Amino acid sequence: MISRSKALQHLAEARTDEIVITAMMASREWSAHSDHQLDFNSVGTGMGHASDIGLGLALARPERRVIVLNGDGSMLMNLGQLVTIAQQAPPNLILMVLQNGVYEVTGGQPIPGPANLDFAGMARAAGIAKAYDFDELDAFVAVLPEILSTPGPIFVNLRVVADTPSGPPPPRRPLPERARQLMQALGATH
């Protein structure tokens, strides 16, 4: 199993100018490693929908890579998004699932069927050809440069330890304010 914090630390260090979309507990851990103007967290409003937001941004801004950090509970809530991502096939989208087997936000209840879940297999079955599954940090770190530079869509499942987030809670600014900040960072007008 991989330390979620260490995996995200390596991702933050390797990141350049990618947009990073997070939701739920991934937002909290990511905020301990990154405070970039292109970070967008949808805490409190986005369980199951970070991949929707990421897909929309990837399609709207094809010149920029978009990384979505999703929990396994959130991914289970929106498995149909894998088919939509495969059909749209944005070459600039990376969807990473942090699989720890629990719904952390609601108190750590186990997700359904954790022993049988194969998210990377589901992604491939949906039509996402580049799908990875990691349970060792060194293996993930070795392939991370390829993941960040290869055209996608790319699906990455990280089997992480269900641990307490080390970072502070992400900012609780209203969603319109967070969206406005991201639009300004992207140079968009509204």
Write down the domain spans for the chain. Answer: 4-185
Q: Please give the single-letter amino acid code of residue 56.
A: G
Q: Please give the single-letter amino acid code of residue 176.
A: P
- Rounded to a whole number of angstroms, the CA Rg of the chain reads 15
Residue 136: band (very low, low, confident or very high) from pLDDT cuts 50, 70, 90: very high
> What is the C-alpha to C-alpha distance for residues 132 and 167, in angstroms, rounded to an integer?
26
pLDDT above 70 for 51: yes
Average model confidence (pLDDT) for the chain? Answer: 85
pLDDT above 90 for 144: yes
pLDDT above 80 for 104: no
Identify the CATH number of the domain defined by range 4-185. 3.40.50.970
What residues have CB less than 8 Å from 43, skipping those under 6 apart?
A: 22, 23, 24, 27, 28, 169, 170, 172
Mean pLDDT along residues 154-163: 88
The share of the chain scoring above pLDDT 70, in percent, equals 84
**More confident call, 60 vs 185:** 60
**More confident call, 21 vs 32:** 21
